[in-house]
Amino acid sequence: MSLARADAEALDATDPLARFRDEFELPKGLIYLDGNSLGPPPKAVAARLADVVGGEWGRDLIRSWNLNGWMDAPLRTGGKIAALIGAAPHEVAVADSTTVNLFKLAAGALSLRPGRKVLLTPADNFPTDVYALEGLAGMVPGLELRIAEPERLVEAIDEATAAVVLTHVHYKTSLRWDLSEVTAAAHAKGALALWDLSHSVGALAVDLSLAKADLAVGCGYKYLNGGPGAPAFLFVAERHQAQIRSPLTGWMGHAEPFAFEGHYRPAPDIRAQVSGTPSVLGLAALEAGLDLQLQADPAQVEAKGLALAELFISLVEQRCAGHGLALLGPRESTRRGLHVSYAHPDGYALVQALIARGVIGDFRAPDVARFGFSPLYLSHAQVWDAVEILRDILETRAFDRADYRQRAAVT
């Protein structure tokens, strides 16, 4: 069946999330398919930051830590993320970066499984996650970082495995692991599962409790629209909180932060995972994004996002066939996240040509063009238009320009 723009418009007319588009700052006419890399600013952010600077920091100064809820922000904001990932509010905290949180929880997994000396991760895991595990392995004598081919990952879990560490939705292929299945396979061997939800949170209706998940981390600046370098989050299931030990011990995670005791005593709860003083500005922007996200039904968010991605794939199949685009990852929506990637011999130049025409995707080495379908501000008609522009660029070979081939450091 061939789909016309009018069909896409009809889908927009009944889109229960359509009203959210007006809540974002986005340049007119731009089709932003990179919210999986950096979400756009919710309109509420500018006013919220102005208030934090002028109304809190500038007026109440140091007293703001109590008066304006700064002290509670890591756990309060964590509680809001918990509602998006099927966790209890007291199981999530916001702190540090995703990388640092992964380091903390991978070390934490070792503390929960003493005697086990293997961390297992798929060979194609997000590079920075592997780097964090390599950093940990460099510190802990005898720790083996076992890298498995993705299709052999589950069978590679054994009685020496402390934790399997993997990204729920693959940053390039969009392949979605089954949270419950992998977690159960880990548990069957007495191991833990540590999930990176960076490409899931705010996109898919994750249910960590249903999956009996142990540990998770994730990013604030993709689908949560929390701003560039937004603080990240971490999840520790309640049943692990009394035993887990973080190696990054700081005053915010102390049982009594203001007692200034000579030695560290961890807080008995998720706060033990908060180490140094958190970025109040970063937390404020993230919380504004979360307050918006929480107005949307997570099931509707997932359904719309998958529908947009499916629409893009279908239209590319119909209209861009024969131009060398090779879809990465599985074809079925149930096994994907909300971004869609294609290998193309001219992937880099193609992304540049699209940007020049107002369609922002991104490039991932060596040859991948990636497009994210964030449900809160994208319309079906925009997806239709993006494919039409892509088709035109491919048919006219408009990407075939020297200046499009010249790589900058980031796209």
**Active-site residues: which are they?**
126, 196, 221-222, 370
CB of 205 to a copy of itself, least distance (A): 25
Place of tokens 């997570």: 298
Residues numbered 8-47 forming contacts with a copy of itself, rule: CB under 8 A: 25-27, 32, 34, 37-38, 40-41, 45-46
Taking the least distance from each CB to a copy of itself, the nearer of 11 and 162 is 162
> Binding segment for a copy of itself among 93-101, 150-158, 234-242, 320-328 (CB under 8 A)?
93-101
Residues numbered 217-246 forming contacts with a copy of itself, rule: CB under 8 A: 219, 221, 227-232, 245-246
Region of 324 on the Ramachandran plot (φ > 0 left; ψ -120 to 50 alpha; else beta): left
Taking the least distance from each CB to a copy of itself, the nearer of 79 and 231 is 231
C-beta of residue 361 within 8 angstroms of C-beta of residue 370: yes
Backbone angles phi, psi at 14, to 5 degrees: -110, 15
Alpha-carbon distance 276 to 117, whole Å? 28
Alpha-carbon distance 291 to 26, whole Å? 18
CB of 24 to a copy of itself, least distance (A): 9
Tokens of 138: 């460099």
Give the SS3 label for residue 24: strand
Alpha-carbon distance 311 to 301, whole Å? 15
CB of 216 to a copy of itself, least distance (A): 16
C-beta of residue 174 within 8 angstroms of C-beta of residue 341: yes
Backbone angles phi, psi at 145, to 5 degrees: -95, 105
One residue of 70, 348, 377, 384 binding a copy of itself per CB under 8 A: 70
Q: In what order do the strands lie in the sheet with 339-343?
A: 326-327, 339-343, 368-372, 362-364
Residues numbered 328-387 forming contacts with a copy of itself, rule: CB under 8 A: 355, 360, 362, 364-365
CB of 251 to a copy of itself, least distance (A): 4
C-beta of residue 238 within 8 angstroms of C-beta of residue 90: yes
Place of tokens 């392949």: 175
One residue of 160, 178, 187, 251 binding a copy of itself per CB under 8 A: 251
C-beta of residue 116 within 8 angstroms of C-beta of residue 162: yes
Residues numbered 271-310 forming contacts with a copy of itself, rule: CB under 8 A: 275-283, 285
C-beta of residue 257 within 8 angstroms of C-beta of residue 251: yes
Taking the least distance from each CB to a copy of itself, the nearer of 63 and 331 is 63
One residue of 62, 151, 155, 402 binding a copy of itself per CB under 8 A: 62
Q: What is the CA radius of gyration of the chain?
A: 22
Distance of CA 403 to the CA centre of its chain: 32
List alpha helices for 153-276, DSSP H. Answer: 153-156, 179-188, 238-241
One residue of 6, 13, 58, 330 binding a copy of itself per CB under 8 A: 58
Alpha-carbon distance 291 to 63, whole Å? 24
Taking the least distance from each CB to a copy of itself, the nearer of 127 and 322 is 127
Taking the least distance from each CB to a copy of itself, the nearer of 285 and 313 is 285
Site membership for a copy of itself, residue 248 (CB under 8 A) = yes
CB of 297 to a copy of itself, least distance (A): 26
Alpha-carbon distance 160 to 118, whole Å? 6
CB of 301 to a copy of itself, least distance (A): 20
The count of residues interacting with a copy of itself (CB under 8 A) is 89
Residues in the chain: 411
Taking the least distance from each CB to a copy of itself, the nearer of 172 and 391 is 172
Taking the least distance from each CB to a copy of itself, the nearer of 103 and 235 is 103
Alpha-carbon distance 148 to 242, whole Å? 31
C-beta of residue 340 within 8 angstroms of C-beta of residue 373: yes
CB of 334 to a copy of itself, least distance (A): 27
Largest CA distance in the chain: 70
> Binding segment for a copy of itself among 99-107, 189-197, 292-300, 395-403 (CB under 8 A)?
99-107
Residues numbered 110-139 forming contacts with a copy of itself, rule: CB under 8 A: 123, 127-128, 130-132, 134-136, 138-139
One residue of 264, 318, 326, 397 binding a copy of itself per CB under 8 A: 264
CB of 354 to a copy of itself, least distance (A): 13
> Binding segment for a copy of itself among 65-73, 179-187, 307-315, 335-343 (CB under 8 A)?
65-73
One residue of 88, 100, 205, 398 binding a copy of itself per CB under 8 A: 100
Taking the least distance from each CB to a copy of itself, the nearer of 315 and 404 is 404
Backbone angles phi, psi at 196, to 5 degrees: -100, 115
